[in-house]
């Protein structure tokens, strides 16, 4: 989805567009001038005011403060620390708590009775996230956010262990996964519409990544056997 597919959903009219240059009305918008489709200059976009007409599931979100809000989805992956293989993935709407909600769901579905840990960045260092992981028997190895009001949700009882440092170091491999999916997998923008179809395409790219990763892992063993 793109800005061109957005329409106003709160019943209000968008204001006239800003002047295109200093020669237009001495810095003022012309009365009655209408905006071109997809022209949202000077308008604060939000999911309460605008929605995509071609893909209502795609919600407005920013990659960072330096990027404009775009109709988006959130892709999530759960990676095995030892081999950097993806063991679970899913796509959700781009809502504020979507990353933590998806992480909790994927962690809860991990099979086996062995000890489990979950490494994640500072955005996951919240009391609710940490408490839920512990409730389902997963040790939270989240990066500490000491700037959050109230401080980090974990303390030395977690961070003193060697496994914590290993998880924090291994979690950076997630960025390599998304980098491969975007650059080599070509998935910078979804061409299908709807959460279900987008999730299917995302899953196919994750499978492709795993196949290539498996090949790299097995190649040294095959060379030794030869």
pLDDT of residue 11: 56
Which tens digits make up the pLDDT trace of 20-67?
555 554 444 455 566 555 555 556 666 666 677 788 888 888 777 777
Tell me what percent of the chain is helix, strand and coil, each rounded to the nearest 5: 35, 15, 45
pLDDT of residue 146: 92
Q: How far is CA 37 from the centre of its chain?
A: 28
pLDDT of residue 185: 86
Round to whole Å and give the CA distance between 57 and 193: 8
Residue 151 has pLDDT above 80, yes or no: yes
Threshold 0.85, pTM exceeds: no
Strands 70-79 and 6-8 turn out to be unpaired
| 53's tokens | 């007409």
pLDDT of residue 26: 46
pLDDT of residue 30: 52
Q: How far apart are the first and last CA of the chain?
A: 50
Average pLDDT over residues 181-191: 84
| 127's tokens | 């009391």
Residue 166 has pLDDT above 50, yes or no: yes
Between residues 64 and 212, the one the model is more confident about: 212
- Are the CB atoms for 139 and 115 separated by under 8 Å? yes
76 DSSP assignment: E
pLDDT of residue 27: 47
Residue 215 has pLDDT above 60, yes or no: yes
Phi, then psi, of 134 in degrees rounded to 5: -65, -35
Round to whole Å and give the CA distance between 15 and 50: 14
Considering only CA atoms, which of 124, 128, 127, 137 is closest in space to residue 171? 124
Going by C-beta distance under 8 Å and a sequence separation of 6 or more, which residues neighbour residue 4?
Answer: 37, 38
Average pLDDT over residues 168-177: 91
Identify the band that residue 4 occupies on the pLDDT scale cut at 50, 70 and 90: low
Residue 184 has pLDDT above 90, yes or no: no
125 DSSP assignment: -
Residue 8 has pLDDT above 70, yes or no: no
| 4's tokens | 């061109």
Percent of all residues in the chain with a pLDDT value above 90, rounded to a whole number? 50
Q: Of 41-55, 102-116, 176-190, give the range with the top mean pLDDT.
A: 102-116
Which tens digits make up the pLDDT trace of 133-148?
999 999 999 999 999 8
pLDDT of residue 36: 56
pLDDT of residue 212: 94
Going by C-beta distance under 8 Å and a sequence separation of 6 or more, which residues neighbour residue 2?
Answer: 38, 70, 71
Domain boundaries, the chain: 1-54, 97-171
């Amino acid at each position: 989805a793109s800005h061109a597919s957005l329409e106003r959903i709160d019943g209000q009219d968008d204001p006239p567009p800003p002047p295109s240059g200093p020669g237009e009305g001495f810095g003022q918008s012309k009365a009655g001038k209408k905006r071109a489709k997809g022209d949202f200059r000077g308008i604060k976009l939000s999911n309460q005011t605008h929605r995509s007409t071609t893909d209502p599931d795609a919600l407005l979100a920013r990659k960072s403060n330096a990027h404009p809000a775009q109709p988006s989805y959130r892709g999530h992956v759960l990676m095995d620390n030892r081999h950097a293989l993806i063991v679970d993935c899913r796509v959700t709407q781009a809502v504020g708590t979507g990353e933590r909600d998806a992480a909790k769901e994927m962690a809860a579905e991990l099979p086996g009775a062995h000890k489990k840990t979950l490494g994640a960045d500072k955005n996951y260092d919240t009391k609710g996230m940490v408490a839920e992981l512990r409730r389902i028997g997963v040790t939270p190895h989240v990066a500490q956010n000491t700037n959050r009001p109230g401080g980090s949700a974990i303390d030395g009882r977690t961070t003193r262990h060697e496994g914590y440092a290993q998880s924090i170091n291994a979690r950076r491999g997630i960025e390599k996964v998304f980098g491969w999916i975007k650059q080599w997998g070509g998935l910078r923008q979804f061409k299908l519409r709807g959460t279900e179809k987008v999730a299917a395409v995302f899953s196919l790219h994750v499978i492709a990544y795993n196949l290539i990763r498996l090949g790299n892992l097995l190649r040294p063993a095959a060379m030794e056997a030869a």
